[in-house]
Amino acid sequence: MKKKKFNFYWIYVILTVVLFALYFTGKDETKQEDIEMGQLIELLQKGEVSKIELINKETAEVYLADNSRTPRYTYRIGSLERFEETVEKVQEESGIEKPIYITNVERKSWGLDLLFTWILPLVFVLALWFLFMRGMGRGSMGGGGQIFNIGKSKAQLFDKDNVPVNVTFKDVAGLEEAKVEIMEIVDFLKNPDKYTKLGGKIPKGVLLVGPPGTGKTLLAKSVAGEANVPFFSISGSDFVEMFVGVGASRVRDLFNNAKQKSPCIIFIDEIDAIGRARGKNPINGGNDERESTLNQLLTEMDGFGTNTGVIVLAATNRADILDKALMRAGRFDRQIYVELPDIVGRREIFEVHMRGLKLAPDVDREFLAKQTPGFSGADIANVCNEAALMAARKGKEAIDKQDFLDAVDRIIGGLEKKNKIITADEKKVIAFHEAGHATTSWLLQYAHPLVKVTIVPRGKALGAAWYLPEERQITTKEQLYHEMIATMGGRAAEQVMFGQISTGALSDLEKVTKQAFAMVTYYGLDEEIGNLSFYDSTGQQEYSLTKPYSEKTAETIDQQVSKLVEKAYQEAVSILSSHKEGLTMLANKLIEKEVIFGDDLEVIFGKRPWDTDTKEENHEG
Ligand code: ADP
Ligand code: ZN
């Protein structure tokens, strides 16, 4: 259906040709010889001149008797009076009866004139038009680029005749609570009479709130799939165009289309692109276009009757920055939280995505779920796909556990770069750096226990340590502090062993600085600052411009952050200094094996006395 688009670079070509043509025709017109007064007099005397035209009282154009269409010569006039006198005198003297007209002509240089009054504006308009069309063409799917479609919504429609929705609840793992809430909507779409008979009202809008990749789109689609209704999918940013009124017109078009297909579902991804709170931006006083788009959305949602059968689902990862008007009754009055999956959820997501895969018997979903804390559904889908690719690359019959583990590593850290050139000295530094992280985290009660350390470079990182974070909802100051020490352990090891530090700690320092800053300014964990938090959950203050605290407090914050980081570093140095032997053994083992696991640390440092349960249990890989 995609039309062949007119290539707009042609406009440039045409313009260039036109300009060149003008240039040369202009040249052609002035293809006249300049002559001296003497020559002119001679011509006059011979009677060859038919007419002299005076242009702007500056030049005289001399027309010859034979071809009177264009002047043959031009003469630049010094003094007008003298020129006229001379011409008259010569004419008299030579006794020419046929009068030679000296006509006064006012003439603007027509080339420049044309350029300014015609060509430049034309070029400008064409250029604008060109940019405009390009803007339109970009991002719109199929048939884009037509100026007439600008106000049309760009929603993608899934329905029986088009692309059927092939997702149902069984494709959505975990998210049990969300499913329960959303079930009601499915039921309504299936049997609207049941509700309307009793006068019940079904929410018109539901907001799905959660981090990216947690399955919000999937969930919305599955509602359409379950209820077997059409599904309009659009992203908030698709409404936004640089022309005022376009967004609003697209919203109108979308709802019109939806009403015709009712019952149906409209899904708006990234609704924050239009739904951000209005008029809170202190710099430019808000964005008119976005606001008018949002207003139109609100109007549409208020406008359609409760039971027209159009339900709007919208996704965002930050409900707090949305305009409160969006959440009012009759609009998105329901919010469903879609969180990152916990260990059970992850196991189920693995199950869903392993359905179509050929697995070796050693693949253990439970174990994989444990290895992937913090992974979103999308990450896990990615792991499964990556594992399949790896197995295929190695020509295996089935995908085994190691493929999955490699895939996990790869998702975390990028591809292994086995052939990145690292000198023996560098390797030693990296090994001690990573061993420093491993040692400190092993010896600190509240740091996350280590799972694996490697010095195989991956992506940008030269080495990496994996920890198994406990899934905790609140974190104590002590836990945060211990984590900071472990993060500083890399640099501290370099200091302790080599007496010099390197640039290799960049990402550690970044992490630790952010952590310390958050502790001081957000979590109220600093004695000097006290129980204050400068965190703004509404996201509606532009703190980058105006700080909510005084200069003096700012200084204190800087001081405390720096003190905290320094303290953590000194602590790491002191731990490693007193365990130099273990550290060295560990680093040597790393150099030798490149990858070590929790068990290896246990051999060197002994069991962690605080670990009651077996955290590093099934790590044989
Ligand atoms: P979001 O809209 O929240 O950013 P998506 O719904 O687009 O995330 O999820 C992207 C992909 O991740 C899905 O297509 C699916 O393959 C996978 N996924 C995410 N969450 C789940 C889940 N709970 N169950 C199964 N697959 C999931
Ligand atoms: Zn490090």
More reliable by pLDDT, 27 or 301: 301
Q: Could you tell me which of 405, 394, 393 has the C-alpha nearest to residue 364?
A: 405
pLDDT of residue 484: 93
Residues 6+ apart with CB under 8 A from 259: 304, 308, 310
Ligand 1 mean position, distance from CA 80 (Å): 87
Residues 6+ apart with CB under 8 A from 175: 214, 215, 219, 338, 341, 345
Q: How confident is the model at residue 619 (pLDDT cuts 50, 70, 90)?
A: very low
Residues with CB under 5 A from ligand 2 (ion): 490, 508
Q: Against a cut of 0.75, is the pTM above it? A: no
Ligand 1 mutation pick, 158, 206, 207, 218, max ligand atoms within 8 A of CB: 218
Lowest mean pLDDT among 51-55, 193-197, 280-284: 280-284
Ligand 1 mutation pick, 165, 206, 207, 214, max ligand atoms within 8 A of CB: 214
Q: How confident is the model at residue 113 (pLDDT cuts 50, 70, 90)?
A: low
What are the pLDDT digits (tens) for 118-138? 777 788 888 888 777 665 544
Q: What is the mean pLDDT of residues 574-585?
A: 93
pLDDT of residue 542: 53
Q: How confident is the model at residue 68 (pLDDT cuts 50, 70, 90)?
A: low
pLDDT of residue 423: 77
260-264 long-range CB contacts below 8 Å, 24 or more apart?
261/157, 261/159, 261/230, 261/232, 262/308, 262/309, 262/310, 263/189, 263/192, 263/227, 263/229, 263/309, 263/310, 263/311, 264/159, 264/224, 264/229, 264/230, 264/231, 264/232, 264/309, 264/310, 264/311
Q: What is the mean pLDDT of residues 87-102?
A: 73
Angle between the N-to-C axes of helices 551-578 and 477-498, in degrees from 0 to 180, rounded to the nearest 10: 60
What are the pLDDT digits (tens) for 314-352? 999 887 788 888 888 878 878 888 888 888 888 999 999
Q: Which residue in 289, 300, 386, 434 is the catalytic one?
A: 434
Taking the CA atoms of 18, 19, 22 and 24 in sequence, report the sign of the dihedral they define: negative
What are the pLDDT digits (tens) for 80-91? 788 888 877 877
Q: Is the pLDDT at 140 greater than 90, yes or no?
A: no
Contact 293, 286 (CB under 8 A): no
Q: Tell me which ligand sits closest to the C-alpha of residue 440.
A: 2
Q: How confident is the model at residue 108 (pLDDT cuts 50, 70, 90)?
A: low
Ligand 2 mean position, distance from CA 370 (Å): 23
Ligand 2 mean position, distance from CA 493 (Å): 10
Q: Is the pLDDT at 621 greater than 50, yes or no?
A: no
Q: Tell me which ligand sits closest to the C-alpha of residue 432.
A: 2
Q: Is the pLDDT at 104 greater than 70, yes or no?
A: yes
Contact 149, 136 (CB under 8 A): yes
Q: Is the pLDDT at 575 greater than 70, yes or no?
A: yes
* Protein residues with CB under 6 Å of any ligand 1 atom: 172-175, 212-218, 315, 349, 352, 377-378, 381
**From the alpha carbon of 379, which atom of ligand 1 is closest?**
12
Q: Is the pLDDT at 304 greater than 70, yes or no?
A: no
The residue type of 545 is L
**From the alpha carbon of 211, which atom of ligand 1 is closest?**
3
Q: Give the chain's count of helices (H) and strands (E).
A: 21, 14
Residue 377 CA neighbour count, 13 Å, CB half:
25
Report the nearest-CA residue for atom 14 of ligand 1: 218
Q: Is the pLDDT at 30 greater than 60, yes or no?
A: no
Q: What is the DSSP string of 480-526?
A: HHHHHHHHHHHHHHHHHHHS---GGGHHHHHHHHHHHHHHHHTS---
pLDDT of residue 556: 92
Is 33 known to be catalytic?
Answer: no
Lowest mean pLDDT among 73-87, 392-406, 535-549: 535-549
Q: What is the mean pLDDT of residues 92-98?
A: 72
Contact 444, 482 (CB under 8 A): yes
Report the nearest-CA residue for atom 15 of ligand 1: 378
Q: Tell me which ligand sits closest to the C-alpha of residue 435.
A: 2
Contact 247, 239 (CB under 8 A): yes
Residue 500 CA neighbour count, 13 Å, CB half:
3
Distance of alpha carbon 71 from its chain centroid, rounded?
A: 64
508: left (phi over 0), alpha (psi -120 to 50) or beta: alpha
Q: How confident is the model at residue 139 (pLDDT cuts 50, 70, 90)?
A: very low
